Structure 1
Amino acid sequence: MPDPLPSSQLGGFSPSPPLLEALNHHLSFKSGDSVAIALSGGADSAMLAVHAHIWASRRQVTLHFFHIHHGLQAIADQWQQHVHDLAVRLQRPCHSLRVQVQPRSLSADGMESAARDARYQGLAQLAQFVGLQHVLLAHHQDDQAETVLMRLLRGTGTTGLGAMAPHMQRDHLNYWRPWLDQPRARILQASDEFAAATAWHAVQDPTNINPDYTRGAVRDLLTPVLDARWPGWQSLLQRQAQLSRETQEVLDSVASQDWQTLESDEAGRSFSLSAWRQLEPARQSMVIRYWLQKQDAGLPTQARLAELLRQLRGVHAQGHDRNLIWKHGPHLIRCVRGRVQIEPVDLLNQNDGFKADQASE
């Protein structure tokens, strides 16, 4: 199909066929749909913006660029202007938002996590402002492999090993990652060719290889060793993530069927203790995880989950043990008249005679 774009926009740059085909394969938007690119200005997101620009032009999809300014580095103001320069070159609307990062702790990883949360909140605000529901993210095969590796080192289960999903929903938005099967080397090659053709160069974020951050340590310390000893390890771990997601889908299906036998209330906030005890131990654990996720309560650590299971298995058959009240983040789990229920943690302030399990999470 002829490219309808003015050649002056791309300076003679030829898009990478595999990167463009990945968009064709993983995205199904049609004429009139509105989509945004989360654009930091780095090579990955910039190349996603350029290739999505070509892809959207051919399909008459409305495309916006979203840039989140975290305010964490002095050079960030220049990055914002640099992103807008690319948007002007491609004649695409670009929307920037400065966010306030609230670090969870003084550690580098705490700051990284807080910045990620602020970024998603900012993207949600921009999406609401523009009036769209779809955002593309530039995560690629190397990112996915690093995520699997980090979660292995944290001792995560099948859910965690699924790493980043090609599609996810958060804050009523649909996020798409069409390049999870694309190696970063291919993206960097496209970035270099684009820079040669247009003189627009992607920005370099020094935190990406800062070993103070977990992901930076993986890139700086582990990746060179893995590349030398096991070439192509990224594709193997990306495949592992895909298999883990497929396995988790089967487990979720089993847990959903088990949940239907637990005589839950209409809101799904409580279930029958005696019915739950009819399940095999492994399925008891699995359905508890399923229940917590349905209630947006998050997953506890393995040790914390084991303690909850121990208490539920040991409580009186009718659930009359008034000492069983288990704190999980902003939630409480307890047994009342033979039913296991979840409720807001502020009920701890009521003088109802219950004793909270204050074990650290």
Structure 2
Amino acid sequence: MAALPPPVAAIRLAVRRALTRTPEHATVLVACSGGADSLALAAATAFVAPRLGRRAGLVTVDHGLQDGSAGRAAAVADWAATAGLDPVEVTPVLVAGRPGGPEAAAREARYQALVEAAHRHAAGTVLLGHTRDDQAETVLLALARGAGPRGLAGMPEERELAGVTLARPLLDVGRDQTRKACAALGLTPWEDPHNVDPSYARARVRSDVLPVLTGALGPGVLDNLARTAKLIAADTAALDALGRSALADARTADGGLAVPVLRDLPAAVRTRVLHGWAREVGATPAALSHRHVAALDALVTAWHGQGAADLPGPVRVTRRGDTLTAARRPPGRVHA
């Protein structure tokens, strides 16, 4: 009996670990574009899921951004059916008109489609094919953009979106392993031209930055970047828990925040309290930035009678004595 190729074994083991965290007899879906990462993930899931008593299906999202995308999505679906995955679904989405740049708009459309498909098929978990290399790219992009710990924590292994768990079993698996696994299984992955399009920042990191880093610092740099994300994620989760507890302690009867309680908190916890409270009182999450939280923090730690802090939403926060209070900003004022 021929030995199982190590890349295939590694990916199956990663999938097994992820599926053992799902309920027995549960339905899981694999998000598969037909690229090497998601194709290797889907093949491993088709093998592992029935052996663990899980029903596994596949969803391929057609973004409609390239010629022939519908045909490629149909080909992925045809392969999935022959591999034993069920249900199998092709989901077209409309990307144009969504907020943000093209990458953000496509990502929002894709996740919305995946969650809706999970609800249709009563699947509690969707498996995503992001690898260690994707995580390393995410950390570098976050570092370049000046992101805080939440950005440097990279992509979480699991997160919930609209009642569906999005799981990434391959964050400890290299992109080279998914390609080797596809080759060993006789699968031909689709090469997405967006992955080498220099107009996308991630593509430039992939083609230009990571090879230079690997050449200068050695091949272990990818593992080290991914490991850094995991360590920061653990620390961030602990600080977030402290922030939630401190927010409960700092609340006043009228829904404000008690300044004396906030003032005694470590800065890392205090800013989390302010960020969480700002969202609660109506600040727009996507537009709430570091400078807004810094303005709130100044009302606590550097108050000398200054005026209110304006947040996106529109929300205005004022310090009155030893209390921060929030109210809707008067109409007619444009938030900068």
Q: Are the counterparts in 1 of residues 214 and 221 from structure 2 also a CA contact under 8 Å?
A: yes
Please give the secondary structure, in 1, of the residue aligned with 2:59. strand
Query: 1:199-214 counterparts in 2 under 5 A?
Result: 200-214=187-201
Q: 1:80 Cα shift?
A: 1.0
TM-score by length of 2: 0.87
Query: 1:66-81 counterparts in 2 under 5 A?
Result: 66-81=59-74
Query: Per-residue CA shift, 1:106-153, capped at 9, x if unaligned?
Result: xxx810100000001111211121122210011110000100011011
Query: Per-residue CA shift, 1:148-184, capped at 9, x if unaligned?
Result: 0110111111111111111101122111111101111
C-alpha RMSD of matched pairs (Å): 2.9
Q: 1:341 Cα shift?
A: 4.6
Q: 1:246 Cα shift?
A: 1.3
Q: 1:283 Cα shift?
A: 3.8
Tell me the residue number matched to 2:157.
166
**Distance (Å, rounded) in 1 between the aligned partners of 2:176 and 2:42:** 17
Q: Are the counterparts in 1 of residues 62 and 93 from structure 2 also a CA contact under 8 Å?
A: yes
Q: 1:192 Cα shift?
A: 1.5
**Distance (Å, rounded) in 2 between the aligned partners of 1:293 and 1:177:** 27
Query: Are the structure 2 counterparts of residues 265 and 209 from structure 1 closer, same or farther at C-alpha, using a change threshold of 3 Å?
Result: farther
Please give the secondary structure, in 2, of the residue aligned with 1:261. helix
Tell me the residue number matched to 1:232.
220
**Distance (Å, rounded) in 2 between the aligned partners of 1:232 and 1:280:** 35
* Identity between Structure 1 and Structure 2 (%): 28
Matched, 1:263 2:215: no
Matched, 1:141 2:132: yes
Matched, 1:332 2:315: yes
Q: What amino acid is aligned across from residue 52 of structure 2 in structure 1?
A: R
Matched, 1:45 2:38: yes
Matched, 1:253 2:241: yes
**Distance (Å, rounded) in 1 between the aligned partners of 2:153 and 2:58:** 28
Count of matched residue positions in the alignment of Structure 1 and Structure 2 = 328
Please give the secondary structure, in 2, of the residue aligned with 1:260. helix
Tell me the residue number matched to 1:130.
121
Residue segments in structure 2 that go unaligned for 5+ positions in a row: none
Query: Are the structure 2 counterparts of residues 13 and 156 from structure 1 closer, same or farther at C-alpha, using a change threshold of 3 Å?
Result: closer
Please give the secondary structure, in 2, of the residue aligned with 1:182. coil
Of 241, 244, 260, which residue of structure 1 is paired with 2:232? Answer: 244
Query: Per-residue CA shift, 1:251-278, capped at 9, x if unaligned?
Result: 1232233223213559xx6433443344
TM-score by length of 1: 0.81
Query: Are the structure 2 counterparts of residues 265 and 210 from structure 1 closer, same or farther at C-alpha, using a change threshold of 3 Å?
Result: farther
Q: Mean Cα displacement is larger for which, 129-138 or 84-93?
A: 84-93
Q: 1:202 Cα shift?
A: 1.2
Of 206, 209, 226, which residue of structure 2 is paired with 1:222? Answer: 209
Tell me the residue number matched to 1:26.
18
Tell me the residue number matched to 2:96.
102
Q: Mean Cα displacement is larger for which, 299-308 or 66-75?
A: 299-308
Query: Are the structure 2 counterparts of residues 270 and 128 from structure 1 closer, same or farther at C-alpha, using a change threshold of 3 Å?
Result: farther
Residue segments in structure 1 that go unaligned for 5+ positions in a row: 3-11, 350-354
Q: Are the counterparts in 2 of residues 211 and 221 from structure 1 also a CA contact under 8 Å?
A: no
Query: Per-residue CA shift, 1:74-106, capped at 9, x if unaligned?
Result: 12112111111211211322111111113567x
